[in-house]
Amino acid sequence: MMEELWETQEDLHRHLCSPQYQRVLLVIELAKGIPEIRFDTITHTRGFETVIEARDHTEGLAEEAR
């Protein structure tokens, strides 16, 4: 498995066109089968506030059930 993270779409495109990535393409060509290649795009990133909001919401639901 190989995983890489890029800050921008332009950074990803630059990497895919680089001489270093050419090596990956050569390995893919030599593979017996077609490898799974997946590009996941993250639309936004959040921090601990997500946990706080979820817990506040869950606690509110528990109080309503009483």
pLDDT of residue 13: 94
Q: What would the two tokens of residue 22 be?
A: 């050419």
DSSP state of 7: S
* Residue at token pair 């921008």: 8
pLDDT of residue 63: 61
pLDDT in tens, 22-66: 999 999 899 999 888 898 888 888 999 999 999 987 666 556 665
CA angle 33, 35, 39 (to 5 degrees): 160
- For the chain, how big is the Rg over CA atoms in Å? 21
DSSP 37-62: ------S----THHHHHHHHHHHHHH
What pTM was computed for the model? 0.59
